[in-house]
Structure formats: structure tokens, C-alpha cells
Chain A
Amino acid sequence: MEDKILIEAKNLKKYFKVGANAQLHAVDGVSFTIKKGQTLGVVGESGCGKSTLGRVLLRLYDVTDGQILYDGVDITKMDSKEIRPIRARMQMIFQDPSGSLDPRKSVKELIGEPLKIYKVCKNQEEYDRRIAEIMKTVGLSERYTESFSHELDGGRRQRIGIGRALAMDPEFIVCDEPVSALDVSIQAQILNLLMDLQKEKGLTYIFITHDLSVVKHISHEIMVMYLGQCVEYAKTKDLFANPLHPYTQGLLDAVPIPSLKAKKLSTQIMRGELTSPVDPAPGCRFAARCPYATDACRGKDIPLKEVEPGHFVSCTRF
């Protein structure tokens, strides 16, 4: 039971049309599985397709190619009616808490909206009780019930966002940069809350972020994305103990560590910047910035290879 796979993506692709004949390869052949009650961290820089991936999983975008299996059921081709009952089981927490909350709704209306749509509560009393319960779960004081989101600060707003996601008791939550807009002291509160909720309710997360230290803290497994592709996929411990892909290494070296003893930032590798994700040439997409790039890296796509049990990397060096 513990190891039940909740969500599985098989060679998932999402292209956006840009201009007449060009396609932006936002997500380009990504596969992974997430076990129930676990967290998959997705790391990458802006434009690597990590947010698109989250939205594709929730079927907010149509899938270009590939398959999404949710609890063993293929949801890739479902239409909006069929997906409704499944939607109730998956939710999302957004990066910008103020952007994801309708400015014209009170806290109560915001958290209660899914309850109303799915007609969960038999009467007003049950509805009020349910909302009070949710607010308590996410640590919002009851006096904010009638407040509007813009009257509250970022931390409390994000709590509303989490409360709303929890209203339907989902199993799976896509967390799209949920803490990157928050101050560090508040960020820690929200991360703790998310981890407590996972323990309590057995939630499954996909945690999308650009912040390696956050993802290390919260994830069981990590997928590193670069220009729509997965370049490295491993258990958190393995990834940090032994980062294999040059891009992963570069990312780790670039994080400034709040200690004078830590080695100075390495600017040796990762000279350039992201190349365009519009109709990329086949081959390793990191090759242009990679210090180890050879001719073998170009011309054909590099498949993921299992280098050690559970540790996948797509690089010609392995």
C-alpha cells in the first residue's frame, strides 16, 4: 500500500505554437512516477517548462503527446466532464498568492468555492463548520473569515491558497513555487505547514521551484529540468550526494551559501544563458553551455540512463 503509484507520466510532451511554423517545446518527453504520500521536486531555471509540466498534469493544458496515468486511469484524453470527478482529487497551490485569489471574494467564499461547486455540504451549518475546520488546519485565525485577501499579508494569503486547495480533501497537489514570493521567515512557516499536512493526510506533492535548498528540504525525489527535458532524476539524497549531470553540478555550485566558510561561488561553468526552446535542434540542449560538450552530444537526443539504482541522468559521459 505504501508504495502505490499515484501519478505516472509517460513521455509527456507539450508544445505551444508560436508564430506560423514554430513550436515552443515547453515540455519535451518527460517521464516520471510519484508514489502516494511522496513529494517529487522539480527544479530548473525560468523557462525550463516546470510550471507548464505542473499545469499539464492537472490537464489545464491539453497534452501534445504522451500519457498521464492518475491512480492507474489514463486521464490524457478525458474531456472536461469526465475529468471533473478526478479534478476534485487533485489541486494546485500557486506562486503568487495574491494573483490566485479573486480580489473580490472574502476568505470564506474563497475557501468555500469548491465546496459549493461540488455541493459537498448539506446545509449552511455544515458549510460553516467545514470552513472553520479548514482555516484551523492551515493556521488561519477565525477572525479573518470575512476578510478580503488583499487585507492580509503574503504569508496569510498563501495559507488561504493552501486552505482552498485542501477544501476537497485532495490526494495530489501541484505546488507551483509556493514559497518563492514569500520572505524567508514566512517561507519556513509555509514549508513546515506543507510538510505537516503531508504527514497528517498522506498527501502527494509535485513541488516546482527554482530554489535548490527548498526542494532538497521537502522532496523525496528530485527531477532536474533543462529546456523542457529531464536531465537528471534521482532520490534527493543521491542527487545531492552525487550530482552527475554537469547542469545539476552547475546549479549546485551557483547557490550562494550563507556561510563564510563555504567555497566561493564558482563561475567557471555555466558561462552562457538558456538557449531558445523554440524548435530546438536534436541533441543535448545543455551542450552550448557545457564545459564537457563533445560532438557526441550533438545531433541526436540523449536518453536517460540509469547510472545507479534509481538515479537517472541524460549525459554522454555516463
Chain B
Amino acid sequence: MSEKEKLLKIQDLSVEYDTEISTVYAVNGLDMELGYGETLGLVGETGAGKTSTALSIIQLLPEGIGFVTSGSIQLDGVDMLNTPEETIRKMRGSTVSMIFQDPMSALNPVMTVGAQIMEVLKIHHPEQSRAQLEARVDEMMELVGIPAKRKTEYPHQFSGGMKQRIVIAVALACEPKLILADEPTTALDVTIQAQMLGLINDLQKRLNTAMILITHDLGVVAQTCEKVMVMYAGEAIEYGTAEDIFETDQRHPYTQGLFNAIPKLNEECDRLEAIEGMMADPTQKPKGCRFADRCKYATAECRAQQPMRQVGPTHYIRCRLFDPMQSAR
């Protein structure tokens, strides 16, 4: 890895949820690094721990239930786990902000959209005059492709896609260094999704914002991200650049399974290759590879702890099938 200063550095992060039923191990020993202006696609299925990772970065795990049990998170030089709440509160919105899946519930129905963009600006720039803030609101609205004159309207007067644009405007208003986008297009129709991905990509480049895009859709990742991390049952099982993941013969069996399971629009096939079995039980914490129960290459060896192995200059896989590159590290 380069010596360049990193925006985000996560080491050995573990997140647990204590619910009335049982303890859920949502994230287990996750390492992640992200440079300024980079985009990372966080791919995985339900229960892979993607959202928990994002929530622990912004320190918004559900109070009293979700806990970071080990590890460290450094965001823009701040140790997020050992910093007073007050400081973190100031960072939310200005250094890091989040876009949620459902634009319908992310906006307050009784506030005009302009006021909602204004809200975040007021919190982080109390020194600016009203006129300055108003001008900034107009600018943000235009930036996400909505005429500024519509800022006096309420969320219900906008369609789903338009609402998501407003959500993006709120998230970007203070020009954060990192955006956490949690399935930002899953609730939208494909044509609107295409517009939205275009918009996010465009803004992200223009403002040089780093982004973690959480999705289950490999297609979305291919279209938007430079780096990709595949998660399974709370662990990162593969990590690399988009080229490493999409144009390679070396893939984690799970990643390969995901690719095979998607019906392809651009090629013919009679039968999909499904990954048999179900998602691993998140209340268990086995020592070895979590995918072993569903993996056709699994042997007794897989039951022992599997480290991340470097298989290419920027490509890491957590699987015993791959020989680690000798030269690196």
C-alpha cells in the first residue's frame, strides 16, 4: 500500500448486536483502507455486515444494542471510537455523511426540502448569513438537477427519484470527505437508478469526495467503483480493484458463485448456477471459513482460521485455494 495519507483506516473491526434473543456477530475482524476521493464498493448479501460497517464508521449503531467490540476506526485522522460524542456529532454531515436506501423515510414530511438542506448547513456553518445559506441551498438543488425554485415544496410533491436527489443534496451540502451510500438505488426503478448512479458518480468526481457504496448488485459496482470489497457473514472475503474482481480468473468461490448466480443480460445460459444452502447463521462465530458449508471446494483445512492472502499487487482473497504472493509484504 502506498504511503499516501488515508482518509479512512479500519483495523480489526468487530460489531455485535445484543438483542433479546441472542447475540448477533455482524462484523468480524474487518480491515479496510480508503484514500481521499476513492470509491469503494461494498458487496454482499443480506446479513453480510455491510450496513453495520457503515454505521460504525459514522458511529450510529443502534444505541444499547449494537456495539463495536474490538478494533479501531480512523477517519480523517480522528479516532472515532475514543472521541467524545460532541466532536463526532460535528463530523457527521461535514466530514462524513450517509445516504440511506429509502428516500421516502429519509426526509421529514413536514419540512420543505429547502429547509432540510438548510438545516444541515445551519448546523455546520452557523457563522454564515441567511442569504449566503440560501444561495448555497439553491446551488445544491441545481447541482442535483432540481430547479431551485422548487425548494419551497414538500417531499410528498416529489417523485421517488427526485426525493433521492434531495437526500443526496442534503448529504453533500457541507462537502463531506466521505459519503456512505447504503443501497442508494435499490428502491428505485432501473431507469431512475441509471440517472442516480450517473449523478452520484459525477458529483463524487467533481467534489472529490470519497464514497463507500453499499450494494448487493455487482452491476452497480462495476459501473461506479474503483475498489471492491466482497463481504460474507461479517468478514471481508475478497478485496481489490474493480479490475481485480471483474476481470480475473482468481476469485473467492463465493464471489465466483455470485457472478454465476446472476442471470446475464448479455449472454445466453439455460440454467443458473445457484449457490446451494443458505446464509451462515450470524449468531455463530466459527473459527474457519464461514462459506465452507456452502463451498464445493471445502475441505477439513477450511475449518481452521483463514487469513487474507495477497494474490495480486492489489488483490486479496480469504481462501486457502490461493497461494499468497511471495514477493509482497
Contacts and interface: CB of A to CB of B under 8 A. Distances in A.
A140 interface: no
B45 A45 contact: no
B79 interface: no
Contacts of A184: 45, 216, 258, 261-262
B257 to A, nearest CB: 6
B243 A251 contact: no
A218 B269 CA distance: 10
B167 to A, nearest CB: 16
Contact of A45 (B191, B218, B221, B246): B191
B161 interface: yes
Nearest to A139: B276
Interface string B188-223: 011111110110000000000000000011111111
Given A185-B45, A258-B218, A217 B263 contact: yes
Contacts, number: 128
A260 B265 contact: no
Nearest to B269: A217
A256 interface: yes
Interface stretch (A9-17, A65-73, A188-196, A298-306): A188-196
Interface in A211-234: 212-214, 216-218
A274 B159 contact: yes
A146 interface: no
Interface in B162-206: 162, 189-195, 197-198
B264 interface: yes
Contacts of A195: 271
Interface stretch (A26-34, A263-271, A309-317): A263-271
Given A185-B257, A217-B263, A260 B198 contact: no
Contacts of B272: 188, 191-192, 217
Contacts of A251: 190-191
Nearest to B192: A273
Nearest to B294: A185
Given A185-B45, A258-B218, A267 B194 contact: yes
Contacts of A192: 271-272, 274
A267 B261 contact: no
A245 interface: no
A110 to B, nearest CB: 19
Contacts of B192: 45, 273
A261 to B, nearest CB: 8
A283 interface: no
A254 interface: yes
Q: Is the interface of B mostly helix, strand, loop or mixed?
A: helix
Contact of A186 (B160, B189, B278): B278
Interface in B258-302: 258-266, 269, 271-276, 278-279
Nearest to A254: B194
Contacts of A214: 263
Interface in B34-92: 45-46
Contacts of B257: 185
Contact of B263 (A213, A261, A273): A213
A187 interface: yes
Contact of B279 (A153, A213, A273): A153
B273 A256 contact: no
Contacts of B220: 256
Contacts of A212: 190, 265
B247 A255 contact: no
A184 B262 CA distance: 6
Nearest to B266: A257
Given A45-B189, A270-B191, A187 B261 contact: yes
Contacts of B258: 184-185
Nearest to B197: A265
B233 interface: no
B191 A254 contact: yes
A210 B186 CA distance: 12
B274 A270 contact: no
B278 A155 contact: yes
A18 interface: no
B190 A254 contact: yes
Interface in B216-263: 216-223, 242-243, 246-247, 257-263
A267 B219 contact: no
Contacts of B198: 265, 267
A257 B194 CA distance: 11
A244 B243 CA distance: 33
A183 to B, nearest CB: 4
A156 to B, nearest CB: 7
A250 B193 CA distance: 12
B261 A185 contact: yes
Given A256-B217, A256-B219, A267-B198, A188 B45 contact: no
A185 B279 CA distance: 9
A260 B228 CA distance: 13
Contact of B219 (A154, A185, A257, A261): A257
A147 interface: no
B217 A260 contact: no
B278 A156 contact: yes
Given A184-B258, A258-B218, 4 more contacts: A183-B45, A184-B261, A251-B190, A265-B197
Interface of A: 45-46, 153-156, 183-189, 191-192, 195, 210, 212-214, 216-218, 240, 250-262, 264-267, 270-271, 273-274
30 contacts: A46-B160, A155-B278, A183-B216, A184-B216, A185-B45, A185-B261, A185-B274, A186-B45, A186-B278, A188-B261, A188-B263, A188-B272, A188-B275, A189-B274, A189-B276, A191-B263, A192-B271, A210-B190, A216-B263, A254-B191, A256-B197, A256-B219, A258-B246, A258-B262, A259-B246, A260-B242, A260-B247, A264-B223, A267-B198, A273-B192
